[in-house]
Amino acid sequence: MRMRDLERASGIGRETIRFYIREGLLPEPLRTARNAALYDEEHLARLLAIRRLREDRYLPLGVIRVLLDAPPESGWDSPDILPHVDRLLRARLELTGAREPAEALLAGAPDPAGRLAELVEAGAIDVAGDGTVSPRDARILRLLEDLGRLGFTREHGYEVEGLKRYVSAMRWLADAQVREFFRLTGPHVGESEAADMAERGLGLLIELMGELFTREVLAGIAARRARLGAGDRTGDGQGD
């Protein structure tokens, strides 16, 4: 198909398509002349995948490139590999307790219903038809409210788009971890051992991510301080 056909089929403009080709997200087309090229079904499939990942999961292009280029996993999702471990893990990892009314947890917000709709749309929580949330989602709401009381609010520039990026990053990381766990561990251990590994490993992984994140924040602060210090020294030199 020609460029105009690819635009029409994908809903993506030609400048964006050319950008994706330059960035390596799409393969080069078949050049039939200096200013003419042909595109195939792979181009269309990748464009539709990129569009879905951008619009539905808000993933950055760097992450999308990794997903598109990843080789097929060697049977990680086969029903023969640890078929019951998902049930065991859910039973172990799910927080127990009664569901709670979602809006009541946002009573301090200026517009609880609107805030709740934003958080659902961002993928941060799920609300049942009766307006309640699970114990884990209730904890997420409480943590978000605590952040708000510290000043992480829309008035200070903290929009819901930032939360969407966190959710997307966590989804990508969780998907990668699940794939890796079943691909590497599944063929070698039984159901109970796999559940033990996943349950204990998840806690350690959360701690590891916290330490890595803290380290990078401190590095960023140090870099900013160094830049500011260099600016101060430059200013002093100019003033002499």
Q: Output the average pLDDT for the chain.
A: 87
Residue 239 has pLDDT above 50, yes or no: no
Residue 77 has pLDDT above 60, yes or no: yes
Residue of higher predicted confidence among 62 and 152: 152
Its pTM stands at 0.66
Residues 126-172 have pLDDT tens digits of 999 999 999 999 999 999 999 999 999 989 999 999 999 999 889 88
Residue of higher predicted confidence among 59 and 27: 27
| CA angle in degrees (0–180, nearest 5) for 192-140-151 | 145
Residue 81 has pLDDT above 90, yes or no: no
Instruction: Give the torsion through C-alpha atoms of 102, 105, 107, 112, to 10 deg.
Output: -40
- pLDDT for the residue 72: 56
Q: What is the mean pLDDT of residues 28-46?
A: 91
- Domains assigned to the chain: 3-69 (1.10.1660.10), 85-239 (no CATH)
Residues 87-138 have pLDDT tens digits of 888 888 888 899 999 999 998 888 899 999 999 999 999 999 999 999 999 9
Residue 73 has pLDDT above 60, yes or no: no
- pLDDT for the residue 240: 42
Please report where in the chains the tokens 């960023």 appear, as a residue: 220
Are residues 119 and 125 in contact, defined by beta-carbon separation less than 8 angstroms?
A: yes
Q: State how far the alpha carbon of 228 is from the alpha carbons of 151, 225, 235, in Å.
A: 25, 5, 10
Residue 174, burial from CB neighbour count under 10 angstroms (0-12, 13-18, 19+) = exposed
Pick the closest to residue 82 from 203, 209, 181, 4 (CA basis): 181
**pLDDT-based confidence at residue 183 (cuts at 50, 70, 90):** confident
